[in-house]
Amino acid sequence: MTADRVNPVTRTPYGAVRGRWEQGVAVFRGIPYAAPPFGPRRFRPPTPPEPWDGVREAAAFGPTAPKPPYSEAFAQYLSDPAVPGDDCLNLNVWTPDPAPGARLPVLVWLHGGALTRGSSAVPVYDGRTFARDGVVFVSVNYRLGVEGYGLFPDAPANPGLRDQLAALHWVHESIGAFGGDPDRVTLGGQSAGAISTGALVAAPQARGLVRRAVLQSGPPETTDRDKVRRMVRRMANRLKVPATAEAFAAVDRDQLLRVQADIGRLGSPILGGPAFGIVTDGDLVPRDPLEALTDGAAPGVELLTGWTRDEYRLWLVPGGLVERVDRLGAVALAGAMARCRCGSEVPRGYRALRPDAGTAELVGQLVTDHLLRVPLHRLADGRRDPSYVYEFAWPSRRPGMGACHALELGFVFDSGDEPDARKLAGEGAPQDLADAMHGAWVRFVTDGSPGWERWDTHHPVQVYGDGDPHVEHGPRDRELALWTTPAPEAPAPATPPELRSVVRRLRRVGALRRD
């Protein structure tokens, strides 16, 4: 390491990199942890990058994985920069002390985006604030969509998840040169990043690489293999090619993205449908991650997990869909029951608990609990190692958004001054709430305790909303108790005709995806 305050230079296993000092923090961007996943490496597991001679400049974000843009409706709320180039398996490091021997705690961050969008270049994920507070922060790019999560008969499953594992190995081997401690690594993410975190923590191949984990609005889960196959087959039919990795690798990348985006509008957190996701593969993901983690996998790994109060509002508010679902009434509730595979007693119970709620709120909370709160409760209940649970309840200043999916990110990262954070939060987000939430995450990464009581039979939940953060015991227990006797497995009923118009509207605005 060269002690140059203008251009810090650090050596990785593949060559030296030169970063920049920015506001007292050393930043290294776009460091390759694997070779470009194209040409003969397309749809294949990651391989090490080619070593380089001399010093590689690491001042700018590296290429992002191929992805379609957000629709206009969602682009009002979410930013997703795209950086062209093939060398998209790269990561970024923010560190307060880029010197071997500093042994600082490390946070490795996996971005969200439904495994089809997002990147480490999203401004809200600025790692400077974590480095400012003594944490080495690493953010990772990984393959997305069909490139990362397509299921083919002639290629291994889950290449995007394998990218993330390769990045974790890079951190274990390299982070000491940036001042980090490879034995104090916290792996974290939001939405799809949290789902990925859960899968990796449960994976036998990641044993010893992760000390703690943060799962924000995403449970450990796998996607039904048939659902992913349907997605691939529909793309293959549209492209008029076989549903094989060899055939897809011969398709122009931009054309593949266009078809993926079009077919992807058929799926939704609210209504289900074909989608890309992590699948069990008998190798990296040998079994369902939630079952594995509640059955004793990853002993010694501490968890911080939670959700936002109104997750569903990011899925329904863009495009004015809340009002349309409210008008559908019982038809929309029937669609939610089909999505959640629950009996009528569950929505009846929600209606009794929320007599003044509109249909969209009931549908949204039903699906949110089915997708997020029920499995995250089960995860916390089933772990012997300490778990800490939060709920983010501060409502956005943007009309109708409430405490929606992804809103907490600007507070966790203390990046509310970023224009991109204000796209979702609006103006006037409280700095004291960001101080409290960001501080709790720093404490958890540093010593394993965010500052409130660990999960037990009383179900303590730290609530971040208007006013001071505080613990409530079992704030969601009455709703979640309605799910303790699930309805028998049965084929989902056909979508009612009245609901199909909502489906068409969702497709047009691009709302049919997790975030």
Q: Residue 365 is inside which H or E element, if any?
A: helix 359-368
- CA dist list (Å): 161 to 109, 147, 252, 358: 13, 11, 23, 39
Q: Which of 311, 361, 408, 479 is catalytic?
A: 311
Catalytic (active site) residue 473: no
Both tokens of residue 512?
Answer: 């049919």
Q: Which of 217, 405, 408, 415 is catalytic?
A: 405
How far apart (Å, rounded) are the C-alpha atoms in residues 2 and 55?
12
Catalytic (active site) residue 191: yes
Instruction: Report which DSSP code applies to 268.
Output: B
DSSP secondary structure of 21-46: EETTEEEEEEEESS--S-GGGTTS--
Q: Show Cβ contacts of residue 230 under 8 Å, excluding neighbours closer than 6 positions.
A: 274
| Amino acid occupying residue 421 | A
Determine how many CB atoms are found less than 10 A away from the CB of residue 498.
15
Residue of 38, 25, 21, 43 lying closest to 88 (CA atoms): 38
The 3-state DSSP class for residue 195 equals helix
Both tokens of residue 397?
Answer: 């200043």
What distance separates the 2 farthest-apart alpha carbons in the chain? 68
> What would you report as the CA-atom Rg of the chain, rounded to the nearest whole angstrom?
22
How far apart (Å, rounded) are the C-alpha atoms in residues 113 and 148?
13
Whether the Cβ atoms of residue 239 and residue 260 lie closer than 8 Å to each other: no
- CA dist list (Å): 157 to 149, 152, 163, 223: 7, 7, 12, 12
How far apart (Å, rounded) are the C-alpha atoms in residues 407 and 423?
10
| Amino acid occupying residue 311 | E
How far apart (Å, rounded) are the C-alpha atoms in residues 291 and 287?
7
DSSP secondary structure of 134-170: T-EEEEE----HHHHH---TTS-S-HHHHHHHHHHHH
Catalytic (active site) residue 415: no
Q: Which of 139, 191, 217, 387 is catalytic?
A: 191
Q: Active-site residue numbers?
A: 191, 311, 405
